[in-house]
């Protein structure tokens, strides 16, 4: 298991805050419990928020316990008729090779997963929580209209890639920012963004954004916060929308960033709305149908970054927070 050791104040450090430990698993199943052989699990930015000794919308990690999150697993022992041995399931599991899930709580069978053309790991990314986040928030909060311009930050990441491609399908002009030239190439050449820039290069973020969006922006898909939000508010057009998905630049620092351009919200009548993915469970069916179809028809593509083995998970998590991931970060534990 990858075990949570102590609360970080800045970036977590593999070995200091998260450590791989061998732990005996109690597999004495009670009624309706299942034993899972874990195949993949997801590493997500929100997990940094669970490394705080404070209340949040997801319970924090417990010191001395295995880290947890969404995963894909195979049922290998079961006292629950709805989850027979051999079923492939998704749900909240652990950064572990094996997990016991009391009452199979929160698990969902993925029918046909063994023979599907869609890889299992996609259920953690483009067809999982980040995908639903992108799909529903763009549609419901963004109210996108053909001809408008959208700016997406962390655009090469799990959420950003789908937001950008969906916005293209809807006829918007799409601008993205990312932290490396390779990611910018991917946005332009593979995802067909209209413009993209490396926010670490060639002047300030505001200068880059003005060049990429000379007519201003109508929607800002906010994944980053800080200086990027400030720049987005500056170039935003009247009646613009900010879809406040995340602010990752603020997750690993104790220094609050004072946004300078908040008064634009008043004068430009900007609507800025936050959300958490679970607000959109009602969209799950439409999401699975639409995105599933687009994937099979290859109308959208996605990229993922696969770390191999439980031992690699602490480094991969820290790397994801620092932008070393290229696409959705997952950990592969075992083959199906």
Q: Which residues bind ligand NDP (CB under 6 A)?
A: 44-46, 130, 133, 154, 156-160, 178-180, 183, 223-224, 245-246, 248-249, 275-277, 320, 323, 325, 328
Measure the CA–CA gap between 172 and 118, rounded to whole angstroms.
28
Q: Which is nearer to ligand NDP, 100 or 235 (CB)?
A: 235
Measure the CA–CA gap between 89 and 54, rounded to whole angstroms.
31
| Residue 315 beta carbon to ligand NDP: minimum distance, rounded to whole angstroms | 14
| Residue 199 beta carbon to ligand NDP: minimum distance, rounded to whole angstroms | 6
Measure the CA–CA gap between 70 and 73, rounded to whole angstroms.
10
- How many C-alpha atoms does 48 have within 13 Å on its Cβ side? 23
Measure the CA–CA gap between 30 and 84, rounded to whole angstroms.
15
Q: Which is nearer to ligand NDP, 156 or 270 (CB)?
A: 156
Q: Which is nearer to ligand NDP, 48 or 173 (CB)?
A: 48
Q: Which is nearer to ligand NDP, 156 or 191 (CB)?
A: 156
- The pair of structure tokens assigned to 151 is 């700016």
Largest CA distance in the chain: 63
Q: Which is nearer to ligand NDP, 328 or 332 (CB)?
A: 328
Which residue number places its CB atom closest to ligand NDP?
A: 157
| Residue 156 beta carbon to ligand NDP: minimum distance, rounded to whole angstroms | 6
Q: Which is nearer to ligand NDP, 294 or 326 (CB)?
A: 326
Q: Which is nearer to ligand NDP, 78 or 249 (CB)?
A: 249
Supply angle C-alpha 275, 278, 280, rounded to 5: 75
SS3 for 78? Answer: strand
Which of 175, 155, 132, 151 has its CA nearest to residue 289?
132
225 phi, psi to nearest 5 deg? 75, -170
| Residue 86 beta carbon to ligand NDP: minimum distance, rounded to whole angstroms | 30
Which of 148, 173, 125, 48 has its CA nearest to residue 300?
125
| Residue 278 beta carbon to ligand NDP: minimum distance, rounded to whole angstroms | 7
| Residue 87 beta carbon to ligand NDP: minimum distance, rounded to whole angstroms | 26
Measure the CA–CA gap between 152 and 155, rounded to whole angstroms.
5
What phi-psi label fits residue 60: left (phi over 0), alpha (psi between -120 and 50 degrees) or beta?
A: beta
- How big, in percent rounded to 5, are the helix, strand and coil portions of the chain? 30, 25, 45
Q: Which is nearer to ligand NDP, 21 or 278 (CB)?
A: 278
| Residue 32 beta carbon to ligand NDP: minimum distance, rounded to whole angstroms | 29
| Residue 69 beta carbon to ligand NDP: minimum distance, rounded to whole angstroms | 11
């Amino acid at each position: 298991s990858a075990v949570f050791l102590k609360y970080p104040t800045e970036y977590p450090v593999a070995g200091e805050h998260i450590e791989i430990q061998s732990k005996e698993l109690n597999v004495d199943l009670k009624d309706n419990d299942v034993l899972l052989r874990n195949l993949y699990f997801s590493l997500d930015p929100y997990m940094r928020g669970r490394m705080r000794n404070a209340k949040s919308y997801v319970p924090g990690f417990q010191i001395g316990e295995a880290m947890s999150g969404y995963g894909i697993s195979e049922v290998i022992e079961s006292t629950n008729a709805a989850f027979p041995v051999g079923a492939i399931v998704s749900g909240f599991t652990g950064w572990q090779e094996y997990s016991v899930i009391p009452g199979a709580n929160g698990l969902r069978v993925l029918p046909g997963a063994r023979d599907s053309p869609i890889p299992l790991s996609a259920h953690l990314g483009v067809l999982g929580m980040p995908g639903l986040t992108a799909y529903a928030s763009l549609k419901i909060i963004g109210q996108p209209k053909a001809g408008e311009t959208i700016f997406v930050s962390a655009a090469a990441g799990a959420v950003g890639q789908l937001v950008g491609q969906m916005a293209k399908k809807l006829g918007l002009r799409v601008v993205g920012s990312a932290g490396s030239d390779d990611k910018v190439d991917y946005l332009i050449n593979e995802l067909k963004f209209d413009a993209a820039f490396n926010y670490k290069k060639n002047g300030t973020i505001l200068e880059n954004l003005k060049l990429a969006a000379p007519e201003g922006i109508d929607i800002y898909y906010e994944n980053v916060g800080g200086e990027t939000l400030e720049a987005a508010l500056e170039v935003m057009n009247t009646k613009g929308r900010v879809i406040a998905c995340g602010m990752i630049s603020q997750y690993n620092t104790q220094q609050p960033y004072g946004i300078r351009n908040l008064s634009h919200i008043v004068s430009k009548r900007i609507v800025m709305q936050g959300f958490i993915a679970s607000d959109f469970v009602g969209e799950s069916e439409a999401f699975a149908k639409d995105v599933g179809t687009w994937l099979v028809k290859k109308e959208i593509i996605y990229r993922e970054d696969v770390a191999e083995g439980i031992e690699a998970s602490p480094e991969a998590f820290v790397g994801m927070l620092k932008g070393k991931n290229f696409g959705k970060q997952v950990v592969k534990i075992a083959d199906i």
